[in-house]
Structure 1
């Protein structure tokens, strides 16, 4: 097991190195470059040359990349020029990250609580109306773009019905104490129940929109995995021995069927960061996705660097943890 973990760590390091190289090359190829973002389009050639020298942009590209890695390792990504001008880019990420974590947690929890039971029931009642309806529902969840679903939910439940707030993380009139940056958790920790309830109401619509694709994927993977396990010989043997149906479903069917579902959940956890860009933008939910979208609009290179690098790092770490958990559940994975 330890050799497998070391191998996955080495793969994660190599992946992160390649991603940093791609990010460095991509940001340098964007129109205008960091100098124009800092000085503006009307800057003089002398000012541009002085800033390029100060930033080391007049050095060979290989030297620039090594300095980029050195600064990234120290957490020095520069100062924001667009999202929050004058503020350290890493601080912006750290201040926005709890909001995205809170939103992703609720979205993933919703997807798991609905996707796994519906997928299991669809497989157990194969060919029935429940099975057909679940499959069609999952196809709609995958096919409908997240931003369209977000706008539709916002229009119906916030604008037309007025039962849920249309944007933001908490109402303006709420005097809440913020400890972790996760508003629902903060309200529970401080026993400010009105603040926790208000933050939860603001989470419902963006969480539902963000959970649509993970829910559909988890449902389909669970259904396919349960169907595959139901056809295995050891399930038929357990049935022939006269074991109780509850024992067969829990110990033999569901336990083995959940192995690929665990991997899927891990992949969807990383994918939620990408979906959060659109969802947070629609609902003005000030998390990492909202900052990333605004960073593109304002060509805030410092913020783009730290947000993309940190999102990639989180994605890699989540998938590494899932792979290790997968190997612990199924020992056959370790020798592949």
Structure 2
């Protein structure tokens, strides 16, 4: 066990080093640099001032030198200072990351609550109208881009019906839930949670389609196994067979895909955060790219990669909880 954990941690460190090296190299290929952007907004800056500023920022160093310097700072928890805002990058990440994480969690919860029953139901009702409706939902979810669904929901639920806000963020819904319990006022939770509904649905729609079909396929395969037939012959109730025996064994591939989806959501909510003016790390990355804020770009990619790796390690651990037969090679 210790050897397996050490091996996985070693590979994780290698991946992080590779991510830092690639990002350090790619951002230098973008035309212009942060000094050019700053000079455009400050006509009084001379060429000599620009060179001094490049030297101070370390932009004149080679890629290997910048990589080693950045790596040494990152190990100490220093991800640099934002060129545009002049504050530590870690401060910006910690301010924006909770909004992205909570939005991703709500999207995963929503997708799981809908996809698992839908996948089980379509498997049990194979070939019926229920199965056909599930297939339609799956095709629609995979075919429709998230940003298009987001715009359509804004036009309908925000502009036409005025039920939900079109954009914005009013703090953590989870924190508001605890406060609502203490104050015994559901409005406290609703005032924060309603800002999560449209962006969470936009992110969850594709996940619902994919996961429902995955669960359906896994359930159909499990239901044909001999131990399911044996349990039915023993007189085990159908509900127990479906939930305890079939679904439990069908969840293993679902856990894998959900882990990957959660990692993708944490690092890839750029479009949805832009559409809904969501103050997450995706929007932070877009703003940093516009002004060539290299430290912020590198930090966002590094944090996203780290979260992705951690989630995959957690998924590996869940394998043993769901199916004790699974053993690491």
Q: Answer whether TM exceeds 0.5 for this pair.
A: yes
Task: Using the TM superposition, give the Cα deviation of residue 275 of structure 1 relative to its aligned residue in structure 2, in angstroms.
Answer: 4.1
Cα distance in 2 for partners of 1:38, 1:330 equals 56
Q: Does 1:134 align with 2:151?
A: no
Q: Does 1:221 align with 2:201?
A: no
Q: In the alignment, which residue of structure 1 is the partner of 2:86?
A: 86
Cα distance in 2 for partners of 1:45, 1:255 equals 66
Cα distance in 2 for partners of 1:100, 1:36 equals 31
SS of the residue 1:317 aligns to: helix
Q: Does 1:189 align with 2:203?
A: no
Evaluate the alpha carbon distance shift between residue 78 and residue 7 of structure 1 in structure 2; reply closer, same or farther with a 3 A threshold: closer
Report Cα offsets for 1:260-304 as digits up to 9, x if no partner. 111111111111124421111111111112212222223222221
Q: In the alignment, which residue of structure 1 is the partner of 2:72?
A: 70
Q: In the alignment, which residue of structure 2 is the partner of 1:123?
A: 123
Task: Using the TM superposition, give the Cα deviation of residue 250 of structure 1 relative to its aligned residue in structure 2, in angstroms.
Answer: 2.3
Contact 1:137 1:216 in 2 (8 A): yes
Q: In the alignment, which residue of structure 2 is the partner of 1:100?
A: 100
Report Cα offsets for 1:8-30 as digits up to 9, x if no partner. 22221111111111111111211
Cα distance in 2 for partners of 1:7, 1:21 equals 21
Task: Using the TM superposition, give the Cα deviation of residue 100 of structure 1 relative to its aligned residue in structure 2, in angstroms.
Answer: 0.9
Task: Using the TM superposition, give the Cα deviation of residue 38 of structure 1 relative to its aligned residue in structure 2, in angstroms.
Answer: 4.4
Cα distance in 2 for partners of 1:156, 1:297 equals 31
Contact 2:179 2:189 in 1 (8 A): no
How many pairs are equivalent? 323
Evaluate the alpha carbon distance shift between residue 59 and residue 297 of structure 1 in structure 2; reply closer, same or farther with a 3 A threshold: closer
Cα distance in 1 for partners of 2:37, 2:301 equals 18
Q: In the alignment, which residue of structure 2 is the partner of 1:269?
A: 262
Contact 1:168 1:285 in 2 (8 A): yes
Task: Using the TM superposition, give the Cα deviation of residue 231 of structure 1 relative to its aligned residue in structure 2, in angstroms.
Answer: 1.3
Q: In the alignment, which residue of structure 2 is the partner of 1:20?
A: 20
Where do 4+ consecutive residues of structure 1 move more than 6 Å? none
Task: Report 1:1-336 matches (<5 A).
Answer: 1-40=1-40, 43-82=45-84, 85-170=85-170, 182-191=171-180, 193=185, 194-336=187-329
Cα distance in 2 for partners of 1:60, 1:32 equals 16
Moved more, 217-226 or 48-57: 48-57
SS of the residue 1:59 aligns to: coil
Task: Using the TM superposition, give the Cα deviation of residue 335 of structure 1 relative to its aligned residue in structure 2, in angstroms.
Answer: 4.0
SS of the residue 1:260 aligns to: helix
Evaluate the alpha carbon distance shift between residue 139 and residue 274 of structure 1 in structure 2; reply closer, same or farther with a 3 A threshold: farther
Evaluate the alpha carbon distance shift between residue 89 and residue 38 of structure 1 in structure 2; reply closer, same or farther with a 3 A threshold: farther
Contact 1:118 1:219 in 2 (8 A): yes
TM-score between the two structures when normalised by the length of structure 1: 0.89
Task: Using the TM superposition, give the Cα deviation of residue 325 of structure 1 relative to its aligned residue in structure 2, in angstroms.
Answer: 1.6
Cα distance in 2 for partners of 1:157, 1:315 equals 33
TM-score between the two structures when normalised by the length of structure 2: 0.91
SS of the residue 1:334 aligns to: coil
